[in-house]
Amino acid sequence: MVTLFGKRIRLFRPHTIWIRRVVQWFFFLLIALIVFNHSLVESGGGLPFLASASLHGVCPFGGVETLYTYLASGLFVQKIHDSSLVLAGIVLILSILFGPVFCGWVCPLGTVQEWVSKIGKKLFKRRFNHFVPTKLDNVLRYMRYVVLIWVLYVTATSGSLIFEAYDPYFALFNFWSTEVAWSALAILGVTLVLSVFVERPWCKYACPYGAVLGITNLFRVFSIKRAEATCKADGACSIMCPMNIPVDTVKTVRDHQCISCLECTSEAICPVAKTVLFTSGGVK
pLDDT at site 78: 86
Measured distance CA(223)–CA(81) in Å, rounded? 32
Measured distance CA(220)–CA(230) in Å, rounded? 24
Measured distance CA(105)–CA(26) in Å, rounded? 10
Question: CB neighbours (10 Å) of residue 173?
Answer: 19
The 8 Å CB, 24+ separation contacts for 76-85 are 77/155, 77/159, 77/160, 77/161, 78/159, 78/160, 78/161, 79/161, 79/164, 80/56, 80/161, 81/54, 81/56, 81/57, 83/57, 83/58, 84/56, 84/57, 84/58, 84/59, 84/60
Q: Three-class SS of residue 211?
A: helix
Tens of pLDDT along the chain (284 residues)? 444 434 444 444 344 688 999 999 999 999 999 999 888 877 777 787 777 788 888 999 999 999 999 999 998 998 898 999 999 999 999 999 999 999 999 999 999 999 999 999 999 998 999 999 999 999 999 999 999 999 999 999 998 999 999 999 999 999 988 889 999 999 999 999 999 999 999 999 999 999 999 999 999 999 999 999 999 888 889 988 999 999 999 999 999 999 999 999 988 888 888 899 999 877 76
pLDDT at site 133: 94
pLDDT at site 10: 42
Predicted structure pTM score: 0.89
pLDDT at site 261: 95
Handedness of CA 245, 248, 253, 259 (dihedral sign): positive
Contact 211, 145 (CB under 8 A): yes
pLDDT at site 16: 62
pLDDT at site 20: 95
